[in-house]
Amino acid sequence: MAEARILNVAEALREATDVAMEHDPRIFVMGEGVSDPKAIFGTTAGLAERYGAARVMEMPIAENGFTGVAIGAAIMGRRPLIVHQRVDFALLSLEQLFNNAAKTCYVTGGHHTVPLVVRMIVGRGWGQGPAHSQSLEPLFAMIPGLKVVMPTTAREAKGQLIAALEDPNPVIMIEHRWVHYATGHVPAGRYTVPLDGPRRVREGGDVTIVATSYMLLEALRAAETLEKAGISADVIDMAVLRPFAPEPIVDSVRRTGRLLFIDTGFRQFGIGAEVVATVVEQAFGSLVTPPVRLGLPEHPTPSSRALLTDFYPTALSIIDAAAALTGIEPARIAAPRAALAAELAKLPVDVPHPTFRGPF
């Protein structure tokens, strides 16, 4: 495999786009801000200078219109990449995505495909508030004809984006803004990560913890603390939502007997609801206790940092839920939990990374 370097997710996404565009001249980028100095949080930096305005196109605030243009171009053999700075901005293009991109292959009997990729980013922090911080992955994952992925690691983000740009089907890539800061080893050059289902990122035998996107990072932090109390967590990255491939999760629950799902979005009607339903259908006899889901509460995202303190699931709430599932004595988890709580208390409220300066 090619040499690996340390990159963050934003750098990995930028590199993936560059590698793919160099390899395939049919690929072009569209979006609001793709060529401005901030370059969609750095993920499109330098692409306009390298490939020109014909392949890196700045778009007006007309999401439905330019999504239609991209779908038409895809049908005619091009490979568009649309980038939205927020999931919320993509809502104006749902009719195009759901009725045209997702259905063209089916309604034409396979004669036409739509090799379109749409990146969209979940906001959090700095007063993003109700309309700039929605994690709406269930909305896209319920539509047959779309593929939906949520990368968390830098290696995964680069490989998934290259795979998406080579896929004949429309792919929705949902990125949490805070995972852009996550660093990891990333191979140089061109490689792909299959868009085929969840993957285990930590092995354990006491409880299965499944998470999407940024919540995976919280889950891994929680798993480290749980280990200190003697609880071994099997942590699964729900990196691919559609196609839905629950087998790794079901197999894990058959071993652990316990399931904890952490949604990036709302708990009710979330991805976790589908996963829990599937586990109950396929592995009910293996469950020793009812599954538990964590997610956002049933109200819009507050803008105030004071109100955000208890809005998002955290490593601490994951620890508490996992401890309750396993029935561990509170005294066994108290000391490692308190140590983590003290560490987290030193961090600023609702700021993703020390280098973050806002506003987005």
State the pLDDT at residue 296. 96
State the pLDDT at residue 185. 96
Catalytic residue among 11, 15, 132, 176: 132
Q: What is the average pLDDT across 142-166? A: 98
Cα gap 330→324, rounded to integer Å: 9
The string of pLDDT tens digits covering residues 5-15 is: 999 999 999 99
Average pLDDT, the chain: 95
Q: What is the average pLDDT across 145-160? A: 98
Cα gap 250→63, rounded to integer Å: 39
More confident site: 259 or 2: 259
CA–CA distances in Å: residue 118 to residues 71, 79, 171: 11, 11, 6
Q: Is 185 an annotated catalytic residue?
A: no
State the pLDDT at residue 242. 98
Q: Report domain extents, the chain.
A: 4-187, 199-345
Q: Given a cut of 80, is residue 324 above it in pLDDT?
A: yes
The Cα angle at residue 310 between residues 307 and 316, in degrees rounded to 5 = 155
Q: Is 132 an annotated catalytic residue?
A: yes
Q: What is the average pLDDT across 315-343? A: 95
State the pLDDT at residue 239. 97
State the pLDDT at residue 350. 81
Q: Given a cut of 90, is residue 356 above it in pLDDT?
A: no
By CB neighbour count within 10 A (0-12 exposed, 13-18 middle, 19+ buried), where does 98 fall?
Answer: middle
Q: Mean pLDDT lowest for which of 97-101, 122-126, 322-326, 335-339?
A: 122-126
Q: Given a cut of 80, is residue 67 above it in pLDDT?
A: yes
CATH pick for 4-187 out of 3.40.50.970, 3.40.50.300, 3.40.630.30, 3.40.50.11690: 3.40.50.970
Residues β-bridged to residue 173? 119, 149
Q: Given a cut of 70, is residue 114 above it in pLDDT?
A: yes
Q: Given a cut of 70, is residue 284 above it in pLDDT?
A: yes
State which fold the 199-345 domain adopts: Rossmann fold (3.40.50)
State the pLDDT at residue 310. 87
Chain centroid, CA 256 distance in Å: 25
Q: What pTM, to 2 d.p., does this model score?
A: 0.95
The string of pLDDT tens digits covering residues 299-322 is: 999 988 888 888 999 999 999 999
Helix/strand/coil (H/E/C) assignment for every residue in the chain: CCCEEEEEHHHHHHHHHHHHHHHCCCEEEEECCCCCCCCCCCCCCCHHHHHCCCCEEECCCCHHHHHHHHHHHHHCCCEEEEEECCHHHHHHHHHHHHHHHCCHHHHCCCCCCCCCEEEEEECCCCCCCCCCCCCCHHHHHCCCCCEEECCCCHHHHHHHHHHHHHCCCCEEEEEEHHHHHCEEEEECCCCCCCCCCCEEEECCCCEEEEECCHHHHHHHHHHHHHHHCCCCEEEEECCEEECCCCHHHHHHHHHHCCEEEEEEEECCCCHHHHHHHHHHHHHHHHCCCCCEEEEECCCCCCCCHHHHCCCCCCHHHHHHHHHHHHCCCHHHHHHHHHHHHHHHHCCCCCCCCCCCCCCC
The band of 207, judged by pLDDT with boundaries at 50, 70 and 90, is very high
Catalytic residue among 11, 15, 63, 137: 63
Structure tokens at 95: 């009719």
Cα gap 212→159, rounded to integer Å: 17
State the pLDDT at residue 2. 58
State the pLDDT at residue 359. 66
Q: Could you tell me if 195 and 16 are in contact, meaning their C-beta atoms sit under 8 angstroms apart? A: no
The string of pLDDT tens digits covering residues 16-62 is: 999 999 999 999 999 999 999 999 999 999 999 999 999 999 999 99
The string of pLDDT tens digits covering residues 247-257 is: 999 999 999 99
